[in-house]
């Protein structure tokens, strides 16, 4: 099936080759790129980001990935299946951006993104390791707030067992969404215990700046113990439910992309090993993958032995 080869194609494009190719293209587009630089660095959240506190529990355990890689080597299938989508992603209009929080809650909410961020503040910065299922990894300084603050605010009912997340749907600006074989919009899901965990983070910024569109503006989930595909970008809708959500990738290929998707070096992906990961940078380093991406102390208690696994 087509989607299979798309994902595989990216995963097998060696990042060194990708960046070499990028250097050549950069020379060609030198003049054009200065015009095309993202305008979303204009710090619409400046007042909030000025007061960001660094959370000392989540500091560097590895060198930070260079910003130029984090903002130009992306997965955002709405804008295409290559890693090089950052320019197309600038078409996303994130101001205004209405988000709805609904389902099995006492206080459902439809709110403008900036107001939600203000309501959930103060914003903090956390440095998290980021591990893609394709076996590459980065270390990134996110700013944002713990998702548990939203849970506290909307007050889920007793029968709310899961949280479902949904991205925007707008094929006019997101050309990937014209590809009908994908189950748009992109969706993801967590158990309510996972969503309440202290690691579960709503990122509104990266490297101390407003979150770039290609990284999921105006906000996206960050779940550092799970493979990156669970960290859904550009969230429009959050629904508390009693039914286990089926995520975008799980819907496409359940034998390859499970609901749990916890980082685990012992469970190979159907088409490649997960024993090691490549750290994206000027020189690609290969290091062993850690169970739960090294965050076991925070999340191990959520899983019995069976659920530790990938599916």
Angle subtended at Cα 229 by Cα 98 and Cα 109, rounded to the nearest 5 degrees: 25
Of the two residues 128 and 186, which places its CB atom closer to ligand MTE in the complex? Answer: 186
DSSP line for 64-77:
PPPHHHHTTS---G
The count of other CB atoms within 10 Å of the CB of residue 238 is 24
Is position 239 an interface residue for ligand MTE (rule: CB under 6 A)?
no
Is position 74 an interface residue for ligand MTE (rule: CB under 6 A)?
yes
Is position 233 an interface residue for ligand MTE (rule: CB under 6 A)?
yes
| Distance in angstroms (rounded) separating the CA atoms of residues 215 and 234 | 8
Q: Is the four-CA dihedral 84, 87, 91, 95 of positive or negative sign?
A: positive
Of the two residues 231 and 262, which places its CB atom closer to ligand MTE in the complex? Answer: 231
Is position 289 an interface residue for ligand MTE (rule: CB under 6 A)?
no
Q: Which two tokens stand for residue 11?
A: 């995963």
Of the two residues 77 and 128, which places its CB atom closer to ligand MTE in the complex? Answer: 77
Is position 182 an interface residue for ligand MTE (rule: CB under 6 A)?
no
Stretch that binds ligand MTE, among 15-23, 99-107, 154-162, 225-233 (CB under 6 A): 225-233
Q: Which two tokens stand for residue 87?
A: 């320019």
Beta strand ranges found along 36-185 (DSSP E): 53-54, 98-103, 109-112, 124-131, 136-146, 162-167
Is position 232 an interface residue for ligand MTE (rule: CB under 6 A)?
yes
Of the two residues 240 and 249, which places its CB atom closer to ligand MTE in the complex? Answer: 249
Q: Among 78, 146, 250, 277, which residue sits at the site for ligand MTE (rule: CB under 6 A)?
A: 78
Binding residues vs ligand MTE (CB under 6 A): 74-78, 132, 167, 186, 215, 228-229, 231-234
């Amino acid at each position: 099936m087509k989607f299979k080869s798309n994902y595989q194609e990216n995963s097998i494009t060696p990042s060194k080759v990708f960046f070499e190719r990028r250097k050549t293209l950069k020379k060609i587009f030198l003049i054009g790129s200065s015009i095309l630089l993202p305008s979303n660095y204009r710090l619409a959240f400046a007042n909030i980001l000025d007061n960001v506190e660094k959370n000392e529990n989540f500091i560097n355990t590895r060198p930070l990935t260079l910003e130029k890689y984090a903002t130009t080597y992306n997965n955002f299938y709405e804008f295409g299946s290559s890693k090089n989508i950052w320019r197309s992603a600038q078409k996303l209009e994130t101001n205004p951006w209405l988000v709805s929080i609904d389902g099995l809650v006492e206080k459902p909410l439809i709110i403008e993104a900036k107001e939600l961020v203000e309501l959930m503040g103060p914003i903090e910065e956390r440095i998290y390791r980021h591990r893609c299922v394709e076996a590459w990894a980065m270390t990134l300084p996110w700013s944002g707030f713990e998702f548990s603050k939203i849970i506290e605010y909307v007050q889920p009912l007793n029968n709310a067992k899961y949280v479902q997340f949904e991205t925007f749907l707008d094929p006019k600006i997101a050309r990937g969404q014209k590809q009908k074989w994908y189950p748009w919009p992109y969706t993801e899901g967590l158990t309510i215990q996972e969503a309440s965990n202290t690691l579960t983070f709503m990122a509104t910024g990266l490297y101390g700046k407003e979150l770039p569109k290609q990284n999921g503006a105006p906000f996206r989930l960050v779940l550092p113990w799970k493979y990156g595909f669970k960290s859904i970008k550009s969230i429009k809708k959050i629904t508390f439910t009693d039914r286990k959500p089926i995520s975008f990738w799980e819907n496409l290929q359940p034998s390859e992309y499970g609901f749990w998707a916890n980082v685990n070096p012992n469970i190979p992906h159907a088409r490649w090993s997960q024993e090691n990961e490549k750290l994206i940078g000027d020189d690609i380093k290969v290091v062993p993958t850690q169970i739960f991406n090294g965050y076991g102390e925070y999340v191990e208690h959520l899983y019995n032995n069976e659920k530790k696994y990938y599916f």
